[in-house]
Chains A and B, each alone.
Chain A
Amino acid sequence: MLSRTADSLYWLARYVERADFLARILDAAMRMASLPAGDGADGAEWDSAIAISDQREAFVAAYGAADEQSVRRFLAFDHANPSSIRSCLSNARNNARAVRTALTSEVWEAVNDAWNQFNLMDEKGMDMQAFARFIEWTKAAARSFDGAVHRTQLRNDGYAFLRLGAAIERADNTARILDVKYHMLLPASEPVGGGLDYFQWSTILREVSAHTAYRWVYRESIKPWLVADLLILNRQMPRSLASCSADITGQLDQLGQAYGRRGAAQRAATATLGRLTSLRIEQIFQSGLHEFVTAFIDENARLSNVIAEQYLM
């Protein structure tokens, strides 16, 4: 397969995954903002959404202070923000168009329809309800893409590059939530467990669709260290760092087998997975949750570069 084709497939999946993620952080921020004043609705949720999106500098330069309107605009609709939902859907569509023959018509239509429907939306006339519907629509568009890929794409190297892009992006996204909210998950010396903390932890779970999953897995009330365990090490949880890492490793193994050659990407992915498999959450807390997450984000970015060097250029 042409390296450019593989590159487009990889980025197509990354952009769709990112659009879904942005919808989730906007959803979580809206929930936080709906808390009665004094219970935490101090505007910090909008700051936090910007921080998670990793676009703080660009945001401050363009908008100054973060509030509902500015954050909605910036993360969902802004042309100038290369990581807004608009930019993600547009980039996904451009990548899909460039490799149209490598996609089934179902996958192409999922991406193309998403972009066409996005363009029919009226940002200005969106009240809170309409915006909530838009958030749901974005998540549904991503699911429609995933479903089309799952149901129709040939399981060849192209499929592996789609899955790789999605998994790398997803790992990065989960790690970013942890990076911004890690302090809420630390075993605190001061009394925790107040209404606000609880709401914030459950918001983190909501951001990754894991509220129910948590109960299934731990059968306990929400404990911050267990939230961290679920999002980092639990292989049953499809957005955990360990799950993403297993997915990445599996796809790279497939490629290595299909091409009859393993390289730096396979070695790096296997090493990360090995570490995540043998670690326990207590060890992560001991050596520092923040340090762990920061190191993971860098490692994941390096892995993306290694994949690019080995296959995409």
Chain B
Amino acid sequence: MTAAFDEMFGAEGQVDGAPRSAYAALDKWMKASPPEFFDARRRQAELFFRRIGITFAVYGEAESHERLIPFDIVPRIISGKEWRRLEQGLIQRAAVLNAFLQDVYGPGECVKAGIIPAGLVYGNSQYRVEMTRIRPPHDIYVHILGADLVRVGEDQFYVLEDNARTPSGVSYMLENREVMMRLFPELFARHRVAPVETYTDSLLATLRSVAPEGSSKDATAVVLTPGPYNSAFYEHSFLADKMGVELVEGSDLFVQDARVFMRTTEGPRRVDVIYRRVDDDFLDPLTFKPDSALGVPGLMAAYEAGAVTVVNAVGAGVADDKAVYTYMPDLVRFYTGKEAILPNVPTWRCRETDALAYVLDHLPELVVKEVNGSGGYGMLVGPTATRSEIEVFAHKLKTDPEGFIAQPTLALSTCPTFTEKGLQPRHVDLRPFVLTGSDQVRVTPGGLTRVALTEGSLVVNSSQGGGTKDTWVLDD
């Protein structure tokens, strides 16, 4: 593996070298500030987060039920020019994912044209046959897209993953900025940083814009959460709070005459748009898992009657499947006639015999992912895996090749990060958020930068010890 591209110092970067231009002012400021200053600010940052109450429940850690995600005070900076290209790529990506889902639950042209195997679409565990009968209002499926981007060079960004179901992390993007502005007002005075605070307004505008035809201008939107024991509950309540809409659980809603209502102290109130943070399977016990207490009986009937908008649409998971991902460059070409602005990471589909053979031969240098996994679980990072972990994975691959894809171990870009050994380069990724409404597409400048805090680690997931940084897009 070659040396990683550094966000601050570039390809040949060293901590004492000359910074890239977007980082020049930050570098100068950091060099002028004494180390004690940063120590104090780091402690202050932790205090802010504790007080605000951002916590993240990690599965399987009963004791540290409410743990803070580590926050690093060195921002990750993206120049305006870099961002404009990313933005175009993200808008294209969201449009293609929506076109793909419309096609999949409609005419199925992409399958007929041989772009993607039928089995991968119609046999997909995320495919919901109910959606062939249901046309979501305004034909939008992925209203909220969180695309995971990685960078390997000055002009080389890749899409690592699409999150088209219920992408999370946006509350960290917002709270990180809030904390940074409180800690370092002088830094914001020296930079023109594009604001991210507009995200929740944009989200509400997007939700209202996709309300069913005939809803009032001030359509009633709600956030549907599985409840306080869900790991992302903080984010659910944060978003509802910032948008000024109700945070509901399944039992707060009911369906009558194929319309959705919420139970309020003033009686039933009609609901037009549900931003659900509950998986498809739990949405409606009459259609999906019959024992689910998280959902709303009859919701799918109301959805089918066109009386409510579900955000993101039911069945959107087909589009963020890791095996379907590998066809995205072809799908972009198929639906737009153009090349993808943001390329995919080269990927071996283990379902193909030749690819599987190659992957099995090169496991120590590859990253292998479960097609349906998320959160960094069920993943093999070859270069850091032990011999026995590799053997276990080889066995899994042979028994269920369709369940896996493999990618080269990318030298993800690094960004200077405070560690116990002082300022050190640590690998980062970027998850920007794209909102698709019936009126316009809104991309918040920036996103969530996740950082792998362990030296050399490429796993940025918060469930596995990753941290976050504020992400700046310069208005230059």
- Which B residues lie within 8 Å of A311 (CB)? 265
Q: Known: A259-B265, A311-B265, A313-B263. Contact between A2 and B228, CB under 8 A?
A: no
Q: How many angstroms from the CA of A261 to the CA of B264 in the assembled complex?
A: 14
Whether, in the assembled complex, A97 has its beta carbon less than 8 Å from a beta carbon of chain B, the answer is yes
Query: Which of the residues A4, A100, A157 comes within 8 Å of B251, measured between beta carbons?
Result: A4
Question: Which residue on A lies nearest to B238, using beta carbons?
Answer: A101
Q: How many angstroms from the CA of A311 to the CA of B264 in the assembled complex?
A: 7
Question: Which residue on B lies nearest to A158, using beta carbons?
Answer: B265
Per-position 1/0 for A122-143, Cβ under 8 A of B: 0000000000000000000000
Query: Which of the residues A3, A98, A313 comes within 8 Å of B228, measured between beta carbons?
Result: A98
- Which B residues lie within 8 Å of A105 (CB)? 51
- Which A residues lie within 8 Å of B263 (CB)? 2-4, 313
Question: Which residue on A lies nearest to B268, using beta carbons?
Answer: A3
**Given A1-B266, A6-B265, A100-B53, 4 further pairs, Cβ under 8 A:** A2-B262, A98-B227, A108-B53, A313-B263
Q: Known: A97-B228, A98-B228, A101-B247. Contact between A3 and B237, CB under 8 A?
A: no
- Which A residues lie within 8 Å of B228 (CB)? 94, 97-98
Whether, in the assembled complex, B130 has its beta carbon less than 8 Å from a beta carbon of chain A, the answer is no
- Which A residues lie within 8 Å of B241 (CB)? 101
Whether, in the assembled complex, B452 has its beta carbon less than 8 Å from a beta carbon of chain A, the answer is no
Query: Which of the residues A1, A94, A101, A108 comes within 8 Å of B265, measured between beta carbons?
Result: A1
CB contacts under 8 Å to A, within B192-251, are: 227-228, 237, 240-241, 246-249, 251
Between-chain CB contacts (< 8 Å), 17 pairs: A1-B264, A1-B266, A2-B252, A2-B263, A4-B251, A6-B265, A97-B228, A98-B227, A100-B53, A100-B237, A101-B240, A101-B241, A105-B51, A157-B265, A255-B265, A259-B265, A259-B266
CB contacts under 8 Å to B, within A179-237, are: none
Q: How many angstroms from the CA of A215 to the CA of B350 in the assembled complex?
A: 86
Is A3 within 8 A of B265, CB to CB?
yes
- Which B residues lie within 8 Å of A6 (CB)? 265
CB distance from A265 to the nearest CB of B (A): 11
Question: Which residue on A lies nearest to B269, using beta carbons?
Answer: A2
- Which A residues lie within 8 Å of B246 (CB)? 2
CB contacts under 8 Å to A, within B243-287, are: 246-249, 251-252, 262-266
Query: Interface size bucket, B side?
Result: 10 to 19
- Which A residues lie within 8 Å of B51 (CB)? 105
CB distance from A263 to the nearest CB of B (A): 11
Q: How many angstroms from the CA of A98 to the CA of B252 in the assembled complex?
A: 13
Is A2 within 8 A of B264, CB to CB?
yes
Q: How many angstroms from the CA of A140 to the CA of B335 in the assembled complex?
A: 66
Q: Is the interface of A mostly helix, strand, loop or mixed?
A: helix
Is A101 within 8 A of B262, CB to CB?
no
> Residues on A close to B: CB < 8 A?
1-4, 6, 94, 97-98, 100-101, 105, 108, 157, 161, 255, 259, 261, 311-313
- Which A residues lie within 8 Å of B249 (CB)? 4
Question: Which residue on B lies nearest to A95, using beta carbons?
Answer: B228
Q: How many angstroms from the CA of A259 to the CA of B263 in the assembled complex?
A: 14
Question: Which residue on A lies nearest to B233, using beta carbons?
Answer: A97
Q: How many angstroms from the CA of A131 to the CA of B459 in the assembled complex?
A: 49
Question: Which residue on B lies nearest to A161, using beta carbons?
Answer: B265
Q: How many angstroms from the CA of A157 to the CA of B240 in the assembled complex?
A: 19
> Residues on B close to A: CB < 8 A?
51, 53, 227-228, 237, 240-241, 246-249, 251-252, 262-266
CB distance from A289 to the nearest CB of B (A): 37
CB distance from A5 to the nearest CB of B (A): 8
CB distance from B55 to the nearest CB of A (A): 11
Q: How many angstroms from the CA of A312 to the CA of B266 in the assembled complex?
A: 10
CB distance from A271 to the nearest CB of B (A): 22
Q: How many angstroms from the CA of A211 to the CA of B53 in the assembled complex?
A: 42
Q: How many angstroms from the CA of A311 to the CA of B53 in the assembled complex?
A: 30
Q: How many angstroms from the CA of A10 to the CA of B471 in the assembled complex?
A: 41
3 closest A-B pairs by beta carbon, nearest first, are A101-B241, A3-B263, A311-B265
Q: How many angstroms from the CA of A28 to the CA of B91 in the assembled complex?
A: 69
Q: How many angstroms from the CA of A157 to the CA of B265 in the assembled complex?
A: 9
Q: How many angstroms from the CA of A4 to the CA of B249 in the assembled complex?
A: 9
Q: How many angstroms from the CA of A260 to the CA of B227 in the assembled complex?
A: 31
Q: How many angstroms from the CA of A157 to the CA of B241 in the assembled complex?
A: 17
- Which B residues lie within 8 Å of A1 (CB)? 264-266
Most buried by B among A2, A3, A97, A100: A2
Question: Which residue on A lies nearest to B52, using beta carbons?
Answer: A105
CB distance from B70 to the nearest CB of A (A): 22
CB distance from B53 to the nearest CB of A (A): 8
- Which B residues lie within 8 Å of A4 (CB)? 248-249, 251-252, 263
- Which B residues lie within 8 Å of A3 (CB)? 252, 263-265
Q: How many angstroms from the CA of A259 to the CA of B267 in the assembled complex?
A: 10
Q: Known: A157-B265, A313-B263. Contact between A2 and B248, CB under 8 A?
A: yes
Q: How many angstroms from the CA of A313 to the CA of B265 in the assembled complex?
A: 8
CB distance from A116 to the nearest CB of B (A): 11
Q: How many angstroms from the CA of A6 to the CA of B246 in the assembled complex?
A: 12
CB distance from B181 to the nearest CB of A (A): 19
Question: Which residue on A lies nearest to B240, using beta carbons?
Answer: A101
- Which B residues lie within 8 Å of A255 (CB)? 265
- Which A residues lie within 8 Å of B265 (CB)? 1-3, 6, 157, 161, 255, 259, 311-312
Is A101 within 8 A of B237, CB to CB?
yes
CB distance from B274 to the nearest CB of A (A): 14
Q: How many angstroms from the CA of A101 to the CA of B223 in the assembled complex?
A: 13
- Which A residues lie within 8 Å of B251 (CB)? 4
- Which B residues lie within 8 Å of A313 (CB)? 263
Question: Which residue on A lies nearest to B242, using beta carbons?
Answer: A101
- Which B residues lie within 8 Å of A98 (CB)? 227-228
Question: Which residue on A lies nearest to B253, using beta carbons?
Answer: A2
- Which A residues lie within 8 Å of B237 (CB)? 100-101
- Which A residues lie within 8 Å of B264 (CB)? 1-3
- Which B residues lie within 8 Å of A157 (CB)? 265
CB distance from A187 to the nearest CB of B (A): 46
Question: Which residue on B lies nearest to A109, using beta carbons?
Answer: B51
Q: How many angstroms from the CA of A105 to the CA of B240 in the assembled complex?
A: 17
Q: How many angstroms from the CA of A101 to the CA of B247 in the assembled complex?
A: 9
CB distance from B210 to the nearest CB of A (A): 23
Q: How many angstroms from the CA of A193 to the CA of B429 in the assembled complex?
A: 80
Q: How many angstroms from the CA of A6 to the CA of B252 in the assembled complex?
A: 12
Q: How many angstroms from the CA of A108 to the CA of B241 in the assembled complex?
A: 15
Most buried by A among B237, B249, B263, B265: B265
- Which B residues lie within 8 Å of A312 (CB)? 265
CB distance from B309 to the nearest CB of A (A): 20
Question: Which residue on B lies nearest to A98, using beta carbons?
Answer: B228
CB distance from A102 to the nearest CB of B (A): 9
Most buried by A among B240, B246, B247, B249: B247
Q: How many angstroms from the CA of A313 to the CA of B252 in the assembled complex?
A: 9
CB distance from B296 to the nearest CB of A (A): 14
- Which A residues lie within 8 Å of B53 (CB)? 100, 108
Q: How many angstroms from the CA of A261 to the CA of B240 in the assembled complex?
A: 27
